[in-house]
Amino acid sequence: MNYSNINVVISTYLKVDRSFKQKLSNIWYKSCAFDDRRQFKYIALGSRFFHTSHARRQVKKDGVEVLLSPQEVTVILRKNEYNKDFPYGSVKSYDSNQLSSNVPIEDTRCEARCKMTSGFLMGVFDGHGGPACAQVISKRLFKYIAAALLPLRLLQKYIKQDPRELLIETFNDRAEIVQDLKSIYDNSFNKFLNKLLLTAKDEINIEASLKNAIMELDRDLSREVVDLYKENNTVNHKTLSVALSGAVACMSYIDGPHMYVANVGDCNAVVGTMNEDNEWFAQKITKEHNTENFDELKRIWNEHPDEERKTVIRRDRLLGELAPLRSLGDYRYKWPTEILSELVVPLIGQKAIPANYYTPPYLTAKPDIFYHRLTPKDKFLIIASDGLWDMMTPLQAVKLVGEHMKGKVFFNPLKLPKKNIQLGDLNDLLMHRKESLKSKPKDRNAATHLIRHAIGGTEYGVDHSRLAHLLSLSPDVSRMFRDDMTVTVVYFDSEYLRQCPA
């Protein structure tokens, strides 16, 4: 790690004002402990999972640049892939993967099963201004949601338990929150439980519960900085780095045929559906919260005086700085000027207060909640950060996963029918399999399949030279060509959904 380039650790290309990022990097630097100059671990999360794959370079032999081999490319692409099968229910399995462009990667993901109620939670979190906020949200949000989904009887039972059973079972969870932050977060969660107890009912409104959990966690990110300052006149640099960085989020809650998607920012969720003619159709569930969404522009304009019309959105960014128009964290765009002046300006200077910052808050974490009733025609859900959607359309992604579903069966050995089979029939079966093997994908994991095509795809297929070149770029250059990518593909059990009552 080059210390002079530490700003790369907390930066995303053109999403936050660059001079501010350089100041903010000083806070993040104080929150990091370096280990032999090659790897480092965050104070926010005691993990090295997010940043061990950044040493990607083109090799030079006798002055000649040599591309990564197909095998080397595949090793890089498959480094973070994961898949999980489930024995029963509407969710049959899921594939996930991540590929970094930033070092460390600013995306995170989480998948979990609710233990005291039914249902699965799947989420993708895209950070900016550093990875801190996205990492912390991925570790905390599903616990808040699982608690908010408890009816009164179960909530009372849970609060009385000592020790308490786990609310969620997470999968592929490789990071742990360090102890001093864990105690702060546990205290916030206990206060959230007590608030829920005051309003909990026997009948759960899922949409309201999702919204409440997301908004309450976002408010806790602020309280964990401001309350300490008010009590002791001190600033916790760790919680401050989480509150000042930000993250957009897209997560789904799936319980039988009922699917809810909560979206904050510019990640997207797309359902792959097969119509009556066996053709793939992409149902885009979410709407991005950015300047391409005119309803979002109108909302922000209406929340501020007319004289701010020209300054609240500039250069297609909030206050000329932030690309997503909703996010968690990012309290530089939410706190009153007085709080920014007291807590942040002494550490990083006047740039802590954005230009034309007259009537905060300018930003909200309020999610849009979408409901979709799953049918047997719905085959899978793709949740991905904008790093994927910048490179392909929803329909392209759905067709790629659909083709992958058809081709991946050939990763399994051929099984002959149990009944007697004639040699002629066996020959036809083998010839059909031989022909179909042409569609066998390179990767078993559908998320890897999507990332491979997003980076190296052309109208004629995957171009190895393009793929190898883009994977070889150093992080400071790579971000100009592609973003971090996080992809989760959730497969539905069509037979289960067929038996669900209408």
Helix ranges, 363-484 (H): 386-389, 394-407, 423-436, 446-456, 464-472, 475-478
Assess contact for 460 and 53: CB atoms under 8 A. Answer: no
pLDDT band at 433 (very low <50, low <70, confident <90, very high): low
pLDDT band at 101 (very low <50, low <70, confident <90, very high): very high
- Model pLDDT for residues 43-87, shown as the tens digit of each residue: 333 333 333 333 344 545 555 668 899 999 999 999 999 999 999
User: For residue 110, what are the contacts with CB-CB under 8 A and spacing of at least 6?
Assistant: 121, 122, 123, 125, 138, 139, 141, 142, 170, 173
d(C-alpha 488, C-alpha 502), whole Å: 28
- Model pLDDT for residues 87-98, shown as the tens digit of each residue: 999 999 999 999
Report pLDDT for 414.
65
- What percentage of residues in the chain have a pLDDT greater than 70? 83
Identify the weakest region by mean pLDDT among 16-25, 386-395, 458-467: 16-25
CATH number of the domain that residue 128 is part of: 3.60.40.10
- 361 preceded by cis ω (within 30°)? yes
Q: What is the mean predicted confidence (pLDDT) over 109-122?
A: 97
Number of domains composing the chain? 1
Report pLDDT for 61.
53
**pLDDT averaged over every residue in the chain:** 87
d(C-alpha 335, C-alpha 340), whole Å: 6
* Whether the predicted pLDDT of 444 surpasses 80: yes
Single-letter amino acid, residue 67 = L
d(C-alpha 414, C-alpha 428), whole Å: 13
Fill in the DSSP letter of residue 177: B
Q: What does 6-38 look like in DSSP terms, one character per residue?
A: GGGGG--TTTS-HHHHHHHHHHHHHTEEEETTT
d(C-alpha 257, C-alpha 201), whole Å: 23
d(C-alpha 156, C-alpha 201), whole Å: 11
- What percentage of residues in the chain have a pLDDT greater than 90? 74
Report pLDDT for 437.
64
Q: Domain range for residue 464?
A: 3-499
Report pLDDT for 27.
44
- Model pLDDT for residues 229-274, shown as the tens digit of each residue: 999 999 999 999 999 999 999 999 999 999 999 999 999 999 999 9
d(C-alpha 475, C-alpha 470), whole Å: 10
Integer CA distances (angstroms), 458 to 5, 392, 403, 488, in order: 33, 11, 16, 22
